[in-house]
């Protein structure tokens, strides 16, 4: 099977710090992949490179067999222009740790905005799809409310609806529950679980919620200091960690 996302020799450095060191990583269509690892290990950067929020320093990222950051112009490979990036972004969506909802729009408008503006849907159609999506995440009663009046868990669910309504083939979740109070984490994880079980969408989940990762991931990759130290089947990885680093990392979560 050809990968839907492929990282080849990808490196990213911030100042003196090499955050991603020559990464080779493939994600297959329909796969639910969990990325775990300590802060600063590079997992978030991996996602941000895919979402075109940052540019790799070297290496190639391919999405659906097309080069993400480079395009062919006159037979030569050059750095991709915005037009190419926008074309590539159609397949990718992202949910952020800090939600980033639009504070000046109601919940409904937050979810309707991109379908109208970016996909060109009519207001009626956009509203219909937004309402469906918001019902799916359990927020039908909050359509006309502003983000400031929502709890963290509710905000994240709106953010998920906003990203899903664009029908991406690949969804990235960057620590979706890390900024939430513990009692609100469950409602968000439930929504993500439902999405994972119901759809064929490829999902990349960066998370510290190990039980959750075990439940929905087809594969888990453990990042440490810029490399993938270990990856494999969740059961195997969590019950029999092979590398000492993974062992000590997991021991912190077993209470």
Partner 1 sequence: MTTYEIFISLIKAGLKVTIQVTFFAAILALVLGFISGLARMSRYRTIRFISGVYIEVFRGTSLLVQLFWIYFALPMMGIRLSALTAGVLAIGLNYGAYCSEVVRSAIQNVPVGQTEACIALNMTKTQRMVKVIIPQAFVMMLPNLGNQLIELLKSTSLVSMITLTDLTYQANILNATTFETTKVYTMLLVIYFIIGLPLSKGVKLLEAKVSEGRV
Least Cβ distance, residue 168 to partner 1 (angstroms):
9
Site for partner 1 contains 103 (CB under 8 A): yes
Site for partner 1 contains 113 (CB under 8 A): yes
Among 9, 14, 17, 98, binds partner 1 (CB under 8 A): 98
Site for partner 1 contains 93 (CB under 8 A): yes
Contacts of 23 (CB under 8 A, 6+ apart): 7, 9, 10, 11, 42, 46, 59, 226, 227, 228
Site for partner 1 contains 102 (CB under 8 A): yes
Least Cβ distance, residue 116 to partner 1 (angstroms):
9
Site for partner 1 in 207-226 (CB under 8 A): none
Contacts of 54 (CB under 8 A, 6+ apart): 12, 45, 48
- 174 or 187: CB nearest partner 1: 174
Site for partner 1 contains 173 (CB under 8 A): no
Among 114, 133, 204, 213, binds partner 1 (CB under 8 A): 114
Residues 71-90 as x/- pattern, contact with partner 1 by CB under 8 A? -----------x---x--xx
Contacting residues toward partner 1, per CB under 8 A: 51-53, 82, 86, 89-90, 92-94, 96, 98, 100-104, 113-114, 117-118, 146, 148-149, 159, 162-163, 166
């Amino acid at each position: 099977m050809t990968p839907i996302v492929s990282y080849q020799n990808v490196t990213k450095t911030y100042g003196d710090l090499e955050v991603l060191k020559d990464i080779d990583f493939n994600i297959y269509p329909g796969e639910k992949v969990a990325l775990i690892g300590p802060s600063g290990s590079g997992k978030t950067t991996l996602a941000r490179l895919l979402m075109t929020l940052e540019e790799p320093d070297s290496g190639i990222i391919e999405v659906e067999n097309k080069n993400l950051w480079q395009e062919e112009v006159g037979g030569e490979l050059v750095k991709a222009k915005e037009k190419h990036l926008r074309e590539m972004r159609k397949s990718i969506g992202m949910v952020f740790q800090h939600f980033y909802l639009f504070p000046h729009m109601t919940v409904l408008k937050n979810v309707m905005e991109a379908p109208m503006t970016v996909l060109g849907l009519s207001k009626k159609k956009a509203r219909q799809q937004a309402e469906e999506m918001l019902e799916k995440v359990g927020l039908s009663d909050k359509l006309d409310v502003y983000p400031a009046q929502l709890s963290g868990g509710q905000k994240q669910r709106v953010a998920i609806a906003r990203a899903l309504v664009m029908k991406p083939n690949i969804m990235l979740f960057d620590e979706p529950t890390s900024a939430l109070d513990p009692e609100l984490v469950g409602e968000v994880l439930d929504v993500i679980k439902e999405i994972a079980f119901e759809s064929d969408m490829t999902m990349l989940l960066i998370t510290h919620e190990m039980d959750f990762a075990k439940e929905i991931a087809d594969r888990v990759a453990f990042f440490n200091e810029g490399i993938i130290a270990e990856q494999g089947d969740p059961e195997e990885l969590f019950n029999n960690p092979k590398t000492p680093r993974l062992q000590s990392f997991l021991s912190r979560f077993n209470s």
